[in-house]
């Protein structure tokens, strides 16, 4: 039997030991990565999926392709450049006319076109704005439009389910899931008749009832956010130290479910989302009120890639 010299034995031993260490190290790294991935809540992944699906709906925010403010009594619609409201060139040349009489609005359509209002064919009708429970939705082909009411302004919001913005949408960019920005907050009820002001991108300032406040600790400091409330559903427009840098300059939206009489609520800033104005030039989004400017960077939620 051939004898193995001591140096040869040591070389073989060192090689086997080093290989085992490397394997263990790789397994540990893979295990840590897998553990981190497994820690991402299913509710967050579901939220991301629903969020993208909502944007990509045929008449979601990605389909918005026009906004025309009505500033005279008779306004024509269609793709011809001579119209008051010029639709994309895939629309019919002459679609119809919107007539303003005092504070009422009427639509007369091109009799050669099949145009519907709320699913029924229409040739002439009065229009209700989005401030009404019976908003008038006009449709023809891939296009739909309706009147929006913003303060003392009335406009026509146009959508196209075949818009380039929707068809070519490449998704949303996110920060990595940040466990540190899932915080427990104290729910503070609004004071009686308490209001706060929010300005929108049009420069219009509106006074809203305070639904309540959330107060939480982060980075060694106490922070508060003011929200609007409709039952258990809270809506918060916020800014932070990433605003106009890594995130959209008009702030981000945060939606919370706060059951009645709750004293605590879990706030997941990973669900901070870009407002419609990030995806469309034709939205009229609210801006963060002064009460909701956080003094730290919220490295969580949706980012701004443009």
Output the pTM of the full model.
0.85
pLDDT at 231 over 50: yes
Point out the domain boundary residue: 140, 167, 194. 167
**How much is the mean pLDDT over the chain?**
90
The answer as to whether 46 is a domain residue is no
Structure confidence at residue 36 (pLDDT): 53
Structure confidence at residue 305 (pLDDT): 84
The answer as to whether 188 is a domain residue is yes
Structure confidence at residue 257 (pLDDT): 96
Higher per-residue confidence, 282 vs 11: 282
The answer as to whether 255 is a domain residue is yes
Burial class of residue 252, CB neighbours in 10 A (0-12, 13-18, 19+)? buried
Q: How far apart are CA 183 and CA 217, in angstroms?
A: 8
Point out the domain boundary residue: 114, 138, 167. 167
Residue 27's pLDDT band, with cuts at 50, 70 and 90, is very low
Task: Tell me which residue of 66, 44, 285 sits closest to 176, measured CA to CA.
Answer: 44
Exposure on the CB side of residue 290, measured as CA atoms within 13 A: 3
* Tokens coding 149: 């009411």
Q: What is the pLDDT of residues 48-104, one digit of tens each?
A: 999 999 999 999 999 999 999 999 999 999 999 999 999 999 999 999 999 999 999
Neighbouring-strand partners of residue 208: 196
Residue 110's pLDDT band, with cuts at 50, 70 and 90, is very high
Q: Are residues 240 and 286 in the same domain?
A: yes
């Amino acid at each position: 039997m051939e004898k193995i010299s001591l140096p040869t034995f040591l070389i073989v031993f060192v090689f086997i030991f080093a290989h085992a260490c490397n394997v263990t190290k790789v397994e540990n790294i893979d295990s840590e990565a897998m553990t981190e991935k497994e820690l991402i809540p299913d509710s967050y992944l579901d939220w991301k999926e629903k969020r993208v699906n909502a944007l990509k709906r045929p008449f979601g925010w990605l389909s918005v392709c026009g906004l025309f403010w009505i500033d005279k009594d008779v306004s024509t619609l269609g793709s011809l450049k001579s119209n008051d409201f010029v639709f994309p060139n895939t629309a019919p040349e002459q679609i119809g006319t919107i007539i303003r009489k005092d504070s009422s609005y009427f639509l007369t359509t091109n009799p050669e076109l099949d145009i519907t209002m709320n699913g029924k064919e229409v040739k002439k009708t009065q229009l209700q704005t989005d401030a009404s429970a019976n908003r008038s939705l006009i449709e023809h082909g891939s296009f739909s439009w309706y009147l929006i009411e913003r303060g003392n302004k009335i406009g026509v919001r146009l959508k196209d389910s075949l818009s380039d913005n929707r068809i070519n949408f490449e998704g949303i960019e996110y920060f990595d899931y940040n466990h540190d920005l899932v915080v427990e907050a104290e729910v503070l009820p609004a004071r009686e008749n308490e209001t706060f002001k929010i300005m929108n991108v049009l420069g219009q300032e509106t006074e809203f009832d305070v639904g309540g406040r959330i107060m939480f600790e982060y980075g060694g400091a106490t922070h508060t956010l003011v929200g609007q409330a409709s039952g258990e559903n809270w809506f918060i427009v916020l800014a932070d130290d990433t605003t106009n840098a890594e995130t959209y300059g008009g702030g981000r939206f945060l939606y919370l479910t706060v059951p009645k009489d709750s004293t605590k609520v879990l706030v997941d800033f990973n669900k901070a989302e870009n407002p419609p104005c990030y995806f469309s030039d034709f939205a009229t989004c609210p801006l963060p009120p002064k009460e909701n400017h956080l003094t730290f960077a919220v490295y969580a939620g949706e980012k701004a890639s443009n």
